[in-house]
Amino acid sequence: MNFSLSEEQLMIQQAARDFAQNELLPGVIERDDAQEFPTKQVEQMGELGFMGMMVDSKYGGSGLDTVSYALVMEELSKIDASSSVIVSVNNSLVCWGLETYGNEEQKQKYLTKLATGEIIGAFCLSEPEAGSDATSQKTTAIDKGDHYILNGTKNWITNGSSADVYLVIAQTDREKAHRGINALIVEKGMEGFEIGPKENKLGIRGSDTHSLLFNDVKVPKENRIGEDGFGFKFAMKTLAGGRIGIAAQALGIAAGAYELALKYSKERKAFGTEISNHQAIAFKLADMHTKIEAARFLVYKAAWDKDQGNNYDLSGAMAKLYASEVAMETTIEAVQIHGGNGFVKDYHVERLMRDAKITQIYEGTSEIQKIVISRSVIKA
Ligand code: CAA
């Protein structure tokens, strides 16, 4: 067993750490406040190769492994989870899905631009009445020979207005239930495709989340990913990898809050000494550190499983479940350690606490992860 990172992985981790400190940290409070999309930073991350990290270099990607991707997600998320979710959706849900299941034409047309960050992508599965229960898709893609006619509404779509390319999951044949679902590539600007208002969110406020409306949108057949009826499996397989990215995001949020709390506790004095000398605080730090390390092992193991070609449904679900719980617990404790200062924006921990919450909800709630985990262990 080897717990060391390779030289290349350490270099990438350092590059992400430097980028987060130098480019994401300035203005992060203001962007969160104003719900401002980090346009300049996304461009920079494209230049650094962070938007298509695992994509083969022949399609413009960085050709890195999933462990490197998790390391980058962790570092970005320590500082700015709004920016990291943009990276996560583009990498795990859009680029990975297209590279793994798209045809050569689709890869040349879309992946080459998505992987460099020239354009960004969105993944559209959730609906007003189909969030966790993803097989109950109401959006329809009716087969009209050489094209589909797409109708319906998608909800809570990350990169909703900033994306150029949308992977949309829709029902073609209701009688076939989940085997009658397709995944279609929809371009911004297609007639009948409308972007709904921006959601006003608790956390990750710099990322843009919208509902999307499809009203008789004509989507050419060549924009279907995979065989007819492959859409649900496409979504499940794609989300299984996505969960590793979100687990790494949760880990980063937890680690970011812990680092701030540790530093603060060594500076802030109460009752004549630094508060880290009080056992009430020291034990909190011990718990936070232990849980973060445990979450880190789960996240890296899931990423490693994916790199080894092992099944990662179970390890990814466990990583996401645990890391997101640790993110929530740790950020709450980080606010507590900061006392009154934790409750004001300047100290960053209240934002991290708000950002942590979504990691227990998107790309499969904690309850969905428990379904995936329990089914897997019972079946085994
Ligand atoms: N890989 C491949 N196939 C899979 C799979 C996987 N990981 N999981 C399920 N499937 C297949 C099954 O094999 C089955 O196919 P067959 O019948 O052909 O064998 C089919 O999918 C249906 O499976 P189930 O019967 O298990 O379906 P279910 O209705 O019980 O639900 C579920 C399964 C795991 C709960 C699933 O509905 C699920 O994951 N729900 C959560 C959806 C989700 O994560 N939503 C997040 C939205 S995206 C988002 O948040 C993005 C963002 O912008 C940040």
Q: Which of 43, 325, 363, 367 is catalytic?
A: 363
Give the model's pLDDT for residue 134.
86
pLDDT at 127 over 90: yes
- Choose which residue among 132, 137, 161, 233 to substitute to test ligand 1 binding: the one with the highest number of ligand atoms within 8 A of its C-beta: 233
pLDDT at 54 over 90: yes
Which residue has the least CA distance to atom 29 on ligand 1? 135
Assess whether the C-beta atom of 361 lies below 6 angstroms from ligand 1: no
| CA of 246, closest atom in ligand 1 | 54
Assess whether the C-beta atom of 236 lies below 6 angstroms from ligand 1: yes
Which residue has the least CA distance to atom 9 on ligand 1? 236
**318 C-alpha to ligand 1 centroid (Å):** 16
Tell me: the pLDDT tens digits for 327-377?
A: 999 999 999 999 999 999 999 999 999 999 999 999 999 999 999 999 999
Q: What percent of the chain has pLDDT over 70?
A: 100
Give the model's pLDDT for residue 130.
87
Give the model's pLDDT for residue 56.
98
Assess whether the C-beta atom of 312 lies below 6 angstroms from ligand 1: no
Assess whether the C-beta atom of 132 lies below 6 angstroms from ligand 1: yes
H helices present in the chain, as ranges: 7-19, 28-34, 39-47, 66-79, 81-88, 96-101, 104-106, 112-116, 231-267, 279-308, 313-338, 349-358, 366-379
Give the model's pLDDT for residue 1.
86
Residue 16: both structure tokens together: 């992400």
Give the model's pLDDT for residue 36.
98
Q: Helix or strand or coil: residue 197?
A: strand
Give the model's pLDDT for residue 155.
97
pLDDT at 118 over 80: yes
Q: Of 110, 134, 132, whose CA–CA distance to 120 is shortest?
A: 110
Tell me: the pLDDT tens digits for 180-234?
A: 999 999 999 999 999 999 999 999 999 999 999 999 999 999 999 999 999 999 9
| CA of 240, closest atom in ligand 1 | 7
pLDDT band at 131 (very low <50, low <70, confident <90, very high): confident
Whether 293 is catalytic: no
Which residue has the least CA distance to atom 22 on ligand 1? 178
Q: What type of residue sits at position 35? A: Q
How far is the C-alpha of 41 from the C-alpha of 245, rounded, in Å?
19
Assess whether the C-beta atom of 370 lies below 6 angstroms from ligand 1: no
Assess whether the C-beta atom of 358 lies below 6 angstroms from ligand 1: no
- H or E stretch covering 120: none
Give the model's pLDDT for residue 76.
98
Residue 281: both structure tokens together: 């605080």
Q: Which of 35-44, 122-131, 147-156, 251-260 has the lowest mean pLDDT?
A: 122-131
**236 C-alpha to ligand 1 centroid (Å):** 5
Tell me: the pLDDT tens digits for 67-103?
A: 999 999 999 999 999 999 999 999 999 999 999 999 9
Which residue has the least CA distance to atom 5 on ligand 1? 236
Q: What are phi and psi of 351, to 5 degrees?
A: -65, -45
How far is the C-alpha of 77 from the C-alpha of 246, rounded, in Å?
10
| CA of 135, closest atom in ligand 1 | 29
Give the model's pLDDT for residue 349.
98
Q: Is-contact 94 122, C-beta < 8 A?
A: yes
Q: Helix or strand or coil: residue 20?
A: helix
pLDDT at 380 over 80: no
Assess whether the C-beta atom of 314 lies below 6 angstroms from ligand 1: no
Distances (CA, A) of 295 to 204, 221, 301, 317, 327: 21, 42, 10, 12, 9
Tell me: the pLDDT tens digits for 235-256?
A: 999 999 999 999 999 999 999 9
| CA of 232, closest atom in ligand 1 | 21
How far is the C-alpha of 32 from the C-alpha of 341, rounded, in Å?
18
Q: Rounded to an integer, what is the distance from CA 5 to the centroid of its chain?
A: 23
| CA of 372, closest atom in ligand 1 | 34
Task: Please give the angle made by the CA atoms of 275, 330 and 270, to the nearest 5 degrees.
Answer: 10
**374 C-alpha to ligand 1 centroid (Å):** 14
Which residue has the least CA distance to atom 26 on ligand 1? 372
**179 C-alpha to ligand 1 centroid (Å):** 12
Tell me: the pLDDT tens digits for 145-162?
A: 999 999 999 999 999 999
